[in-house]
Chain A
Amino acid sequence: NAGVTQTPKFRVLKTGQSMTLLCAQDMNHEYMYWYRQDPGMGLRLIHYSVGEGTTAKGEVPDGYNVSRLKKQNFLLGLESAAPSQTSVYFCASSSPGGPNEQFFGPGTRLTVL
């Protein structure tokens, strides 16, 4: 099993450009999450999904959109990138309910110039 994978691993954008980050999991998990990690701030939840076709806002959703068209995939979109979105982005997945362990992907390092 690959677990949770993320594409791409690194990306550099110019201000105003758009991009999509892809997360895929092969553990048949219902729940999926997108976090951003910034120095000294731990991980903060951007958006999450409790099932195919459903999404919800987390702590820091502004400037991001998500889609969960297939159970195994969770996409994070930046429509118009800003330097404040320079960060490391992590995707995670878990079984339903709580408190269940979340399994994390390796991360995507995004720089917005």
Chain B
Amino acid sequence: AQSVTQLDSHVSVSEGTPVLLRCNYSSSYSPSLFWYVQHPNKGLQLLLKYTSAATLVKGINGFEAEFKKSETSFHLTKPSAHMSDAAEYFCVVTGKGNAGGTSYGKLTFGQGTILTVHP
């Protein structure tokens, strides 16, 4: 079984200040973890992913996340927020579903964190 908890439903920052979006996970396997971003009225775009290589993962638009197994966390950070970062962010854990013996990439989504960036 796997689950994801995003610890903040809303985060508000000023432009130019750091961003921290928190995510804790639970997984029976060695997990792979993603962060997706969704801008208003748009689909989901992959920001970054962790797949058991380096624990510090760099993504697009200056975002990065650190996998901490001891804390079961995968927090998303950015040193300096930009107005264009305003969006909803989803932490996602992947596991192995099973469909008639064929494994597939089952995604479990967190509830989402809405990031607001003030001028």
A residues with a Cβ closer than 8 A to B are 4, 31, 40-45, 48, 50-51, 54, 56, 90, 92, 94, 96-102, 104-107
Q: Which residues of B contact A92 (CB under 8 A)?
A: 44
Q: How many A-B residue pairs have CB under 8 A?
A: 69
Q: How extensive is the interface on chain B, given as a class? A: 20 to 34
- Expressed in whole angstroms, the Cα–Cα distance for A104 and B41 within the complex equals 13
- With A42-B90, A43-B90 in contact, is A99–B44 under 8 Å at CB? no
Query: Does more than half of chain A's interface fall in helix, strand or loop, or is it mixed?
Result: strand
**B99 on the interface (CB 8 Å rule)?**
yes
12 example contacts (A-B, Cβ-Cβ < 8 A) are as follows: A42-B90, A42-B109, A43-B90, A44-B109, A50-B99, A97-B103, A100-B105, A102-B105, A104-B36, A104-B44, A106-B42, A107-B43
In the complex, which residues 93-107 of chain B have their Cβ closer than 8 Å to any Cβ of chain A?
A: 94-96, 99-100, 102-107
Q: Which residues of B contact A107 (CB under 8 A)?
A: 41-43
> B105 contacts which of A40, A42, A56, A97 (Cβ < 8 Å)?
A97
In the complex, which residues 67-109 of chain B have their Cβ closer than 8 Å to any Cβ of chain A?
A: 90, 94-96, 99-100, 102-107, 109
Q: Is the CB of B43 within 8 A of A90?
A: yes
Q: Which residues of A contact B109 (CB under 8 A)?
A: 42-44
Q: Which residues of A contact B112 (CB under 8 A)?
A: 40, 42
> A99 contacts which of B45, B102, B105, B111 (Cβ < 8 Å)?
B105
- With A98-B94, A101-B34, A101-B49 in contact, is A54–B100 under 8 Å at CB? yes
Q: Is the CB of B100 within 8 A of A105?
A: no
